[in-house]
Structure 1
Amino acid sequence: MPWWLIVAAALSIVACTPTQDESHKFVSGHTVVHEVFWGADHKTPYPFTTSGEILCVYYPDFGIEVYFEPAGYSKDSSIGTPLNKAAADALKRDGMEPNVPYSIKEGADLSEAVEAGLRLCDKI
Protein backbone atom coordinates (compact mmCIF):
# COMPACT_ATOMS: atom_id res chain seq x y z
CA MET A 1 0.00 0.00 0.00
CA PRO A 2 1.44 3.44 -0.88
CA TRP A 3 2.57 5.61 2.08
CA TRP A 4 0.27 8.49 1.09
CA LEU A 5 -2.76 6.21 1.28
CA ILE A 6 -1.77 5.15 4.81
CA VAL A 7 -1.39 8.82 5.83
CA ALA A 8 -4.76 9.71 4.28
CA ALA A 9 -6.46 6.84 6.11
CA ALA A 10 -4.87 7.85 9.42
CA LEU A 11 -5.94 11.48 8.97
CA SER A 12 -9.52 10.49 8.19
CA ILE A 13 -9.68 8.42 11.38
CA VAL A 14 -8.30 11.27 13.49
CA ALA A 15 -10.59 13.82 11.83
CA CYS A 16 -13.66 11.71 12.58
CA THR A 17 -12.79 11.00 16.22
CA PRO A 18 -15.21 12.78 18.59
CA THR A 19 -13.76 15.55 20.71
CA GLN A 20 -13.38 15.25 24.45
CA ASP A 21 -16.24 16.09 26.75
CA GLU A 22 -16.16 19.90 27.18
CA SER A 23 -17.76 19.82 30.64
CA HIS A 24 -14.39 19.12 32.26
CA LYS A 25 -12.52 21.83 30.39
CA PHE A 26 -10.54 24.21 32.62
CA VAL A 27 -9.37 27.64 31.48
CA SER A 28 -7.49 30.24 33.50
CA GLY A 29 -5.68 33.51 33.00
CA HIS A 30 -4.22 36.44 34.92
CA THR A 31 -3.27 40.07 34.51
CA VAL A 32 -1.00 42.18 36.67
CA VAL A 33 -2.59 45.25 38.29
CA HIS A 34 -0.95 48.21 40.04
CA GLU A 35 -2.39 51.42 41.45
CA VAL A 36 -0.03 53.61 39.39
CA PHE A 37 -1.20 52.15 36.05
CA TRP A 38 -4.86 51.42 36.86
CA GLY A 39 -6.10 54.88 35.86
CA ALA A 40 -4.77 54.53 32.30
CA ASP A 41 -7.31 51.83 31.43
CA HIS A 42 -10.04 52.24 34.04
CA LYS A 43 -12.48 54.93 35.14
CA THR A 44 -12.99 53.71 38.71
CA PRO A 45 -10.36 54.22 41.45
CA TYR A 46 -7.92 51.37 42.11
CA PRO A 47 -9.91 48.97 44.32
CA PHE A 48 -7.12 47.00 46.03
CA THR A 49 -4.85 47.76 48.98
CA THR A 50 -1.71 46.63 47.11
CA SER A 51 -0.52 45.59 43.65
CA GLY A 52 -1.17 42.05 42.48
CA GLU A 53 -3.00 40.00 39.90
CA ILE A 54 -6.57 39.58 38.79
CA LEU A 55 -7.14 35.91 38.03
CA CYS A 56 -9.90 34.14 36.18
CA VAL A 57 -10.80 30.47 36.33
CA TYR A 58 -13.46 28.96 34.09
CA TYR A 59 -15.21 25.64 34.53
CA PRO A 60 -18.21 25.14 32.19
CA ASP A 61 -20.29 23.70 35.04
CA PHE A 62 -19.68 26.66 37.37
CA GLY A 63 -18.93 29.74 35.25
CA ILE A 64 -16.08 32.23 35.38
CA GLU A 65 -14.57 32.84 38.80
CA VAL A 66 -12.59 36.09 39.31
CA TYR A 67 -10.07 36.53 42.14
CA PHE A 68 -7.45 39.02 43.33
CA GLU A 69 -4.09 37.87 44.65
CA PRO A 70 -1.53 40.34 46.01
CA ALA A 71 1.93 40.39 44.43
CA GLY A 72 4.07 37.57 45.75
CA TYR A 73 1.15 35.35 46.77
CA SER A 74 0.35 33.59 43.50
CA LYS A 75 1.24 30.13 44.75
CA ASP A 76 -0.51 26.78 44.70
CA SER A 77 -1.36 27.08 48.38
CA SER A 78 -2.74 30.63 48.19
CA ILE A 79 -6.44 31.32 47.92
CA GLY A 80 -7.18 34.72 46.45
CA THR A 81 -9.90 37.17 47.39
CA PRO A 82 -13.09 36.40 45.40
CA LEU A 83 -14.30 39.32 43.29
CA ASN A 84 -17.52 37.90 41.86
CA LYS A 85 -20.38 35.67 42.99
CA ALA A 86 -19.12 32.61 41.07
CA ALA A 87 -15.78 32.82 42.92
CA ALA A 88 -17.43 33.32 46.33
CA ASP A 89 -19.81 30.42 45.66
CA ALA A 90 -16.92 28.17 44.58
CA LEU A 91 -14.98 28.85 47.77
CA LYS A 92 -18.08 28.26 49.89
CA ARG A 93 -18.90 25.05 48.00
CA ASP A 94 -15.34 23.75 48.54
CA GLY A 95 -15.19 24.87 52.20
CA MET A 96 -12.32 27.28 51.53
CA GLU A 97 -11.54 30.85 52.59
CA PRO A 98 -9.12 33.42 51.16
CA ASN A 99 -5.73 33.17 52.87
CA VAL A 100 -3.82 36.08 51.35
CA PRO A 101 -3.09 39.37 53.12
CA TYR A 102 -4.31 42.65 51.73
CA SER A 103 -7.35 42.80 49.58
CA ILE A 104 -10.10 45.22 48.67
CA LYS A 105 -10.26 48.83 49.81
CA GLU A 106 -13.32 49.58 51.91
CA GLY A 107 -16.23 50.72 49.73
CA ALA A 108 -14.30 50.03 46.50
CA ASP A 109 -16.12 49.64 43.18
CA LEU A 110 -15.12 46.22 41.87
CA SER A 111 -17.06 46.38 38.60
CA GLU A 112 -14.05 47.09 36.37
CA ALA A 113 -11.85 44.57 38.16
CA VAL A 114 -14.49 41.89 37.66
CA GLU A 115 -14.90 42.92 34.00
CA ALA A 116 -11.14 42.62 33.50
CA GLY A 117 -11.22 39.10 34.96
CA LEU A 118 -14.17 38.04 32.83
CA ARG A 119 -12.45 39.34 29.69
CA LEU A 120 -9.37 37.30 30.52
CA CYS A 121 -11.25 34.01 30.32
CA ASP A 122 -13.26 35.15 27.29
CA LYS A 123 -10.01 35.71 25.35
CA ILE A 124 -8.73 32.21 26.04
Structure 2
Amino acid sequence: MSRWLVILIASSITACTPARDDSYASKFVSGYVEVSEVFWNAYHDTPYPFTTSGEISCVYYPDFGIEVYFEPAGYIEDSSIGIPLNRAAVESLKQTGMTPNVPYSIKKGADLNEAIRVGLKACGEVYGEI
Protein backbone atom coordinates (compact mmCIF):
# COMPACT_ATOMS: atom_id res chain seq x y z
CA MET A 1 0.00 0.00 0.00
CA SER A 2 2.75 2.50 0.87
CA ARG A 3 4.51 1.76 -2.43
CA TRP A 4 1.41 2.88 -4.34
CA LEU A 5 1.20 6.03 -2.25
CA VAL A 6 4.84 6.93 -3.09
CA ILE A 7 4.18 6.34 -6.81
CA LEU A 8 1.01 8.45 -6.68
CA ILE A 9 2.78 11.34 -4.93
CA ALA A 10 5.77 11.19 -7.29
CA SER A 11 3.45 11.17 -10.31
CA SER A 12 1.49 14.17 -9.08
CA ILE A 13 4.65 16.18 -8.40
CA THR A 14 6.01 15.40 -11.86
CA ALA A 15 2.68 16.23 -13.49
CA CYS A 16 2.50 19.64 -11.77
CA THR A 17 6.07 20.71 -12.49
CA PRO A 18 6.09 23.25 -15.33
CA ALA A 19 8.19 22.39 -18.33
CA ARG A 20 11.18 24.62 -18.82
CA ASP A 21 11.03 26.55 -22.04
CA ASP A 22 14.61 27.49 -22.88
CA SER A 23 13.48 29.67 -25.78
CA TYR A 24 11.61 31.93 -23.31
CA ALA A 25 14.61 32.04 -20.95
CA SER A 26 16.75 33.42 -23.75
CA LYS A 27 14.21 36.18 -24.44
CA PHE A 28 13.65 37.50 -20.89
CA VAL A 29 16.42 39.07 -18.87
CA SER A 30 16.32 41.27 -15.81
CA GLY A 31 18.84 42.84 -13.48
CA TYR A 32 19.15 45.57 -10.90
CA VAL A 33 21.62 47.81 -9.13
CA GLU A 34 21.07 49.28 -5.67
CA VAL A 35 21.71 53.02 -5.59
CA SER A 36 21.96 55.72 -2.94
CA GLU A 37 23.14 59.30 -2.81
CA VAL A 38 25.90 58.34 -0.38
CA PHE A 39 27.68 56.05 -2.87
CA TRP A 40 26.58 57.57 -6.20
CA ASN A 41 29.26 60.30 -6.23
CA ALA A 42 32.02 57.75 -5.70
CA TYR A 43 31.22 56.05 -9.02
CA HIS A 44 29.52 58.70 -11.15
CA ASP A 45 30.33 62.24 -12.27
CA THR A 46 26.71 63.44 -12.42
CA PRO A 47 24.62 64.41 -9.37
CA TYR A 48 22.39 61.73 -7.83
CA PRO A 49 19.09 62.06 -9.73
CA PHE A 50 16.68 60.58 -7.15
CA THR A 51 15.22 61.91 -3.90
CA THR A 52 15.73 58.62 -2.07
CA SER A 53 17.74 55.43 -2.26
CA GLY A 54 16.40 52.42 -4.13
CA GLU A 55 17.28 50.38 -7.16
CA ILE A 56 17.62 50.90 -10.85
CA SER A 57 16.27 47.84 -12.58
CA CYS A 58 16.11 46.65 -16.12
CA VAL A 59 14.10 44.10 -17.98
CA TYR A 60 14.59 42.97 -21.55
CA TYR A 61 11.77 41.78 -23.76
CA PRO A 62 12.39 41.32 -27.50
CA ASP A 63 9.18 43.24 -28.28
CA PHE A 64 10.11 46.39 -26.34
CA GLY A 65 13.89 46.33 -25.90
CA ILE A 66 15.64 47.05 -22.62
CA GLU A 67 13.36 48.85 -20.19
CA VAL A 68 14.94 50.77 -17.29
CA TYR A 69 13.05 51.69 -14.11
CA PHE A 70 13.71 53.21 -10.68
CA GLU A 71 12.02 51.82 -7.57
CA PRO A 72 12.45 53.64 -4.26
CA ALA A 73 13.58 51.66 -1.21
CA GLY A 74 10.56 50.15 0.50
CA TYR A 75 8.70 49.70 -2.80
CA ILE A 76 10.85 47.01 -4.36
CA GLU A 77 8.53 44.05 -4.79
CA ASP A 78 6.76 42.06 -7.49
CA SER A 79 3.61 44.20 -7.37
CA SER A 80 5.50 47.48 -7.72
CA ILE A 81 5.67 49.29 -11.03
CA GLY A 82 8.72 51.51 -11.00
CA ILE A 83 9.25 54.90 -12.54
CA PRO A 84 10.21 54.47 -16.22
CA LEU A 85 13.59 56.03 -17.01
CA ASN A 86 13.91 55.37 -20.74
CA ARG A 87 11.69 55.42 -23.83
CA ALA A 88 11.34 51.60 -23.99
CA ALA A 89 9.96 51.56 -20.43
CA VAL A 90 7.53 54.40 -21.15
CA GLU A 91 6.27 52.72 -24.33
CA SER A 92 5.93 49.35 -22.63
CA LEU A 93 3.81 50.81 -19.84
CA LYS A 94 1.66 52.68 -22.40
CA GLN A 95 1.05 49.53 -24.44
CA THR A 96 0.09 47.49 -21.38
CA GLY A 97 -2.03 50.27 -19.84
CA MET A 98 0.03 50.25 -16.65
CA THR A 99 1.20 53.22 -14.60
CA PRO A 100 3.89 53.50 -11.94
CA ASN A 101 2.57 52.85 -8.44
CA VAL A 102 5.59 53.98 -6.42
CA PRO A 103 6.19 57.48 -5.07
CA TYR A 104 7.74 59.75 -7.66
CA SER A 105 11.34 60.09 -6.61
CA ILE A 106 13.24 61.87 -9.39
CA LYS A 107 14.76 65.23 -8.51
CA LYS A 108 13.39 68.13 -10.54
CA GLY A 109 15.60 68.79 -13.55
CA ALA A 110 17.75 65.71 -12.92
CA ASP A 111 19.90 64.29 -15.70
CA LEU A 112 18.84 60.65 -16.05
CA ASN A 113 21.40 59.64 -18.67
CA GLU A 114 23.81 58.09 -16.17
CA ALA A 115 20.98 56.28 -14.34
CA ILE A 116 19.79 54.85 -17.66
CA ARG A 117 23.33 53.69 -18.48
CA VAL A 118 23.51 51.97 -15.07
CA GLY A 119 20.25 50.14 -15.84
CA LEU A 120 21.32 49.14 -19.34
CA LYS A 121 24.61 47.85 -17.97
CA ALA A 122 22.75 45.75 -15.37
CA CYS A 123 20.93 43.91 -18.15
CA GLY A 124 24.07 43.73 -20.29
CA GLU A 125 26.00 42.04 -17.49
CA VAL A 126 23.23 39.50 -16.98
CA TYR A 127 22.62 38.80 -20.64
CA GLY A 128 26.03 39.53 -22.12
CA GLU A 129 25.57 42.75 -24.07
CA ILE A 130 22.09 42.59 -25.52
Shorter-chain TM-score bucket reads 0.7 to 0.9
Partner of 2:103: 101
Residues of 2 paired with 1:119 and 1:57: CA distance?
A: 11
> Is 1:115 matched up with 2:96?
no
Partner of 2:84: 82
In structure 1, stretches of 5+ residues that fail to align are 1-18
In structure 2, stretches of 5+ residues that fail to align are 1-20
Alignment of structure 1 residues 32-71 onto 2, 5 Å: 32-71=34-73
Residues of 2 paired with 1:22 and 1:100: CA distance?
A: 28
Residues of 1 paired with 2:71 and 2:24: CA distance?
A: 28
CA RMSD of aligned residues (A): 1.7
Return the TM-score normalized by structure 1: 0.80
Q: Contact 1:27–1:59 (CA<8 Å) still a contact in 2?
A: yes
Return the TM-score normalized by structure 2: 0.77
The alignment-based identity, stated in percent, is 68
Shift of 1:21: 3.7
Shift of 1:61: 2.1
SS of match in other structure, 2:69: strand
Residues of 2 paired with 1:23 and 1:95: CA distance?
A: 25
Moved over 4 A (4+): none
Q: Contact 1:32–1:52 (CA<8 Å) still a contact in 2?
A: yes
Shift of 1:23: 9.0
